[in-house]
A and B are shown apart, each in its own frame.
Chain A
């Protein structure tokens, strides 16, 4: 620091005047400190590159559902018949749904559930799309085709979120523009109105979006695949058949039926294994993927999802503790590098996403040659062996022997069969994790849409129309590829289609979304379900196919089952629609966002909008 004090009055006085003038003259510019290290909408969201960057952000946002600890997609599985929340050592995980699934409860945490994540992040995704759509006219494009592709992909992103949100939450606020002020006057719009608008948008987007894009981005088939789901949700079955057929017959997409990729030379494997190895999902020549999200090792803070899939931690059982040998010794170890190293192969699972007996046993009863249930692809707990080094040191004869669950007298050898003992699809869950000492499941690409689902969606549309033979044929396309027995039209009903979806798309599809979509179709068209019931939209939250299906095929929520911590598995029909997070309703003080029936706050509901207001 330096300070000079002068007392030369006259000359200094002059200097001050000059200085003052100088400051005054340039004072306007002096306070314009422009940002140097980031872009703002005014200087970046007026070019095609700026829009593409927002749409790539929308892909990052879409990707996040499938990755990380307590990945949001697990909540989709738990609110269906394929999985339950298996972390049994504390209160909080979504087990006692009657108690915990409430608007004011913790709805966005790996240790609770991710309902609030969907609400928050999907509306963020809608914002990215709306920002692009609203600013399209600000930019100059190289060509009309470029503009159309950007516009079409933005429409996809918005429709993807609204399709999901309307199956998760029902009637919700429909926002079609970038909100640039702190608005607080939103109201809900009916699910049907929103889906109609999305159907319109996607039909418009189909010809606009490029047929071929990089993996990890949107192509025309992805738009059509989403459109098929929206068409089904609106019970427009002919339209669904047409849009699905456009994908199936597009000449670029086909099911993978022969060996390919990194393990192609390993004769113990098969095409089912190849299809789901993360290295193969977006490999050249894989014609089955329609929409993928990309995450790779070696792109830390440079495009990866920090920490990777974490899928083995989430979805394989906690096999490394609480399993004893028949002579009562601790049998298991998750230490890597020991003589029988099982942690590298199966990962250090914590059993958060616990496959139910439905998805791990019942649907495989007649598996026969089905590759998806073959040894090596599918792992049963009895395939694991007692590997604790302490057993070897003690000379225990069970060391290296296969696990057993019961003694001959029926005494269980595993103290928590919810969390520690269930079978799992190794071919889907195995993701190498070289950065972790005890693997959690590392970086790798994930399928969001795959052609096998397109076939199953078209089969479903044929089923609704009563064209059972055509439905059976589409299902058989999927089954032939995995060497499963073929079926006939007489076998086809929603039960069978849901079973096939669970066999083919476990830990891939958004199971709660799809099951709710089907429940809405039953309620809308009044067709009698295979269980003998008919459903109606009038009392949807009291009686619906979603709840009846889960009660029918699983034994958790319906038998008073309790975890070892003492929390009971409970569920009610109104859980078919998730609670709108209370902060969203409370903050919206100048309007009324409706709460779903069955949850506190629903008594304040007003009639939802059935039309889309014209924007000024």
Chain B
């Protein structure tokens, strides 16, 4: 018959507990405080998959039908106390001794489901067609938009399997074309709702007794229309293998149109709500990816393989929320810095173009600043800085990236490899160039070059410079090439291993983050790991350099 059935059930149970006691004995604490909290997360996923596989002559069919459900529950409880009596010696183990006690809790539930059908049809290993239809549901979306349908279709033609294709050099050639719609539900579990943040306030009654009274803060607007984000992806690809696999690789071009992008939209503050989670019109992503692996040399005593990939992506906002001006043109969203026709990561603001020098003191004075302060481009020559002086100043994410790894095997038992990668064209905030990194008379800060009349730099301000009336950030190009990894290893020869009755023994040395070359970035690590271009932990504190790791190791199998 060709039917098969698969039942999958996954359960994840996670506990995390936190205990802390800040002793009153510490000179920085006047009273002791202690806290304990526990979080439990329980999550299950259930798959029911029914398959039908059938081959008739050169026709191969695979049909799949999926029914899926999931549920997430989390439970959080936290108890805190301070100002203990008679003392805080028992810490978090006796919170009831605290004269000030607080408890909070938060439970969260979300659910999702899906139904999917997929048909694969393969004719003679030459033509392949895949058709998919799925319906996804998620509890976080607006009342009427919890579910959405996502179809896709893909075809591939393995040219090298055709009878007419006869080439000694080209071993494999496959052309792929696909169109598909995908959903994204990556939002907070309750962002569509207007959450009444509960808190407390104090009253004093006629007897002088303090009473806590509850408060509600309606901080976000409700969006009952929030719906799935949808990406329509068109993909064209070519896979190839030449000369018995000495050269292999693929080229891929794509164009993704994302509509109803889920974003947090900051609202004009007079509305009184900070933001609303909403669906943003349309964003277009276009890109190119290229991967290549080659066997450059392959002899018994020396072999050399290279892997290389290159990628490039361009995006553009086509539509926003549909707010039109009097001429019917769609308006930019200045509050959130989203501009029709511009990329989502474009930098827009007042531009720092250099440092006011000694002979420009009079011109600087017109802007209320002094030689040594940053000079800001005054687009409209109005003498002051407003939104009219904002300009586009490049992009936060790389314009293109590439990576390469090389592996060498020498004298049979030596392995050597290194990896290089590069992100190019992105900019990052570098306000260190304002030289205002702390109070110079009482705190330490990282030493950066600084302007003085005798040292008239044009890229760093005087110590403790003034911004004048401008509100600007210094953006610097953070392009880099990084030698990320070098490994040298020696495998003990087989005959020696046999004498020692050992399966394998490998001695290796490895260095990670070996070197980085960033022509325009003279500070800690140039690599941005978040969109604002700072540290991987999401802060904008640049004082965390990336460590360099040296590893020496032995792998032994008995």
* Closest chain B residue to A581, Cβ basis: B269
B153 to chain A, nearest CB (A): 24
B44 to chain A, nearest CB (A): 11
With a CB–CB cut-off of 8 A, which chain B residues contact A13?
3, 5, 50
A298–B387 alpha-carbon span in the complex (Å): 46
Contact between B99 and A39 (Cβ–Cβ < 8 Å)? no
Contact between A106 and B270 (Cβ–Cβ < 8 Å)? no
With a CB–CB cut-off of 8 A, which chain A residues contact B213?
52-53, 56, 303
Say whether A124 faces chain B, with CB atoms less than 8 Å apart: yes
Say whether B190 faces chain A, with CB atoms less than 8 Å apart: yes
Chain A 297-330 residues near chain B, CB threshold 8 A: 298-304
B335 to chain A, nearest CB (A): 4
- Could you say which of A99, A120, A301 contacts B269, with CB atoms under 8 Å apart? A120
A45–B218 alpha-carbon span in the complex (Å): 10
The CB with the most chain A CB atoms within 10 A, among B194, B270, B385, B471, is that of: B270
Contact between A296 and B202 (Cβ–Cβ < 8 Å)? yes
Say whether B524 faces chain A, with CB atoms less than 8 Å apart: no
B364 to chain A, nearest CB (A): 12
Say whether B222 faces chain A, with CB atoms less than 8 Å apart: yes
B442 to chain A, nearest CB (A): 9
A60–B213 alpha-carbon span in the complex (Å): 11
Contact between A186 and B105 (Cβ–Cβ < 8 Å)? no
Chain B 91-109 residues near chain A, CB threshold 8 A: 99-100, 102, 105-109
Chain A 84-110 residues near chain B, CB threshold 8 A: 89-92, 96, 98-100, 102-106
Contact between A215 and B99 (Cβ–Cβ < 8 Å)? no
Interface size class of B (residues with CB under 8 A): 35 or more
The CB with the most chain A CB atoms within 10 A, among B205, B332, B436, is that of: B205
Say whether B241 faces chain A, with CB atoms less than 8 Å apart: no
A5–B8 alpha-carbon span in the complex (Å): 8
A39 touching B215 in the complex, CB below 8 Å, given contacts A182-B271, A215-B204, A586-B334: no
With a CB–CB cut-off of 8 A, which chain B residues contact A586?
334-335, 387
Interface stretch of the complex, out of B23-31, B306-314, B397-405: B23-31
Say whether A606 faces chain B, with CB atoms less than 8 Å apart: no
A17 to chain B, nearest CB (A): 10
- Could you say which of A37, A96, A565, A588 contacts B268, with CB atoms under 8 Å apart? A588
* Closest chain B residue to A99, Cβ basis: B368
Interface stretch of the complex, out of B461-469, B536-544, B545-553: B461-469
Say whether B132 faces chain A, with CB atoms less than 8 Å apart: no
Contact between A44 and B206 (Cβ–Cβ < 8 Å)? no
A284–B206 alpha-carbon span in the complex (Å): 6
Say whether B207 faces chain A, with CB atoms less than 8 Å apart: yes
* Closest chain A residue to B33, Cβ basis: A300
Contact between A37 and B323 (Cβ–Cβ < 8 Å)? no
Chain B 50-71 residues near chain A, CB threshold 8 A: 50, 67, 69
Say whether A27 faces chain B, with CB atoms less than 8 Å apart: yes
Say whether A32 faces chain B, with CB atoms less than 8 Å apart: yes
Interface stretch of the complex, out of B272-280, B353-361, B450-458, B474-482: B272-280
B90 to chain A, nearest CB (A): 20
Interface string of B257-295 (1 = CB under 8 A from A): 000000001111111110010100000000000000000
A182–B470 alpha-carbon span in the complex (Å): 29
A99 touching B468 in the complex, CB below 8 Å, given contacts A19-B48, A38-B195, A89-B441: yes
Interface stretch of the complex, out of A189-197, A373-381, A430-438, A525-533: A430-438
* Closest chain B residue to A184, Cβ basis: B323
With a CB–CB cut-off of 8 A, which chain A residues contact B266?
587
Say whether A613 faces chain B, with CB atoms less than 8 Å apart: no
* Closest chain A residue to B370, Cβ basis: A566
- Could you say which of A3, A41, A89, A304 contacts B439, with CB atoms under 8 Å apart? A89
Contact between B202 and A54 (Cβ–Cβ < 8 Å)? no
With a CB–CB cut-off of 8 A, which chain A residues contact B271?
123, 127, 175, 179, 182-183
With a CB–CB cut-off of 8 A, which chain B residues contact A284?
206-208
* Closest chain B residue to A216, Cβ basis: B203
Interface string of B173-209 (1 = CB under 8 A from A): 0000000000000000110011111111111111110
Contact between B107 and A5 (Cβ–Cβ < 8 Å)? no
A216–B67 alpha-carbon span in the complex (Å): 57
A468–B271 alpha-carbon span in the complex (Å): 44
Contact between B139 and A33 (Cβ–Cβ < 8 Å)? yes
Contact between B334 and A182 (Cβ–Cβ < 8 Å)? no
Say whether A119 faces chain B, with CB atoms less than 8 Å apart: yes
Chain A 367-403 residues near chain B, CB threshold 8 A: none
A56–B211 alpha-carbon span in the complex (Å): 12
Contact between A102 and B216 (Cβ–Cβ < 8 Å)? no
- Could you say which of A36, A38, A181, A302 contacts B221, with CB atoms under 8 Å apart? A181
* Closest chain B residue to A215, Cβ basis: B204
A582–B6 alpha-carbon span in the complex (Å): 60
Say whether B217 faces chain A, with CB atoms less than 8 Å apart: yes
A1–B211 alpha-carbon span in the complex (Å): 50
Chain A 181-209 residues near chain B, CB threshold 8 A: 181-184, 186
Contact between A282 and B385 (Cβ–Cβ < 8 Å)? no
Say whether A50 faces chain B, with CB atoms less than 8 Å apart: yes
With a CB–CB cut-off of 8 A, which chain B residues contact A103?
386
With a CB–CB cut-off of 8 A, which chain B residues contact A35?
190, 193, 195
* Closest chain A residue to B436, Cβ basis: A90
A214 touching B272 in the complex, CB below 8 Å, given contacts A53-B216, A589-B323: no
Contact between A600 and B210 (Cβ–Cβ < 8 Å)? no
- Could you say which of A19, A128, A590, A601 contacts B67, with CB atoms under 8 Å apart? A19
A600–B385 alpha-carbon span in the complex (Å): 8
Say whether A6 faces chain B, with CB atoms less than 8 Å apart: yes
Contact between A9 and B3 (Cβ–Cβ < 8 Å)? yes
Chain B 10-25 residues near chain A, CB threshold 8 A: 10-11
Q: Footprint of B on A, CB under 8 Å?
A: 1-9, 12-13, 16, 19-20, 23, 27, 30-41, 44-45, 49-50, 52-54, 56-57, 59-60, 63, 89-92, 96, 98-100, 102-106, 119-120, 123-124, 126-128, 130-131, 173, 175, 179-184, 186, 212, 214-217, 282-284, 292, 294-296, 298-304, 434-437, 445, 565-567, 581-584, 586-590, 593, 600-601
Smallest CB-CB A-B distances: 4 pairs: A127-B272, A99-B368, A91-B466, A303-B200
Listed by A's residue number, 27 A-B pairs whose Cβ atoms lie within 8 Å are A16-B50, A16-B67, A31-B138, A37-B107, A38-B190, A52-B214, A53-B215, A60-B201, A90-B439, A99-B469, A104-B387, A182-B271, A212-B206, A214-B204, A214-B205, A296-B202, A300-B102, A302-B102, A303-B213, A304-B202, A437-B30, A582-B386, A587-B266, A588-B268, A590-B323, A600-B382, A600-B386
Given contacts A37-B108, A38-B198, A182-B221, 5 further A-B contacts (CB under 8 A): A40-B196, A49-B214, A52-B213, A566-B370, A590-B325
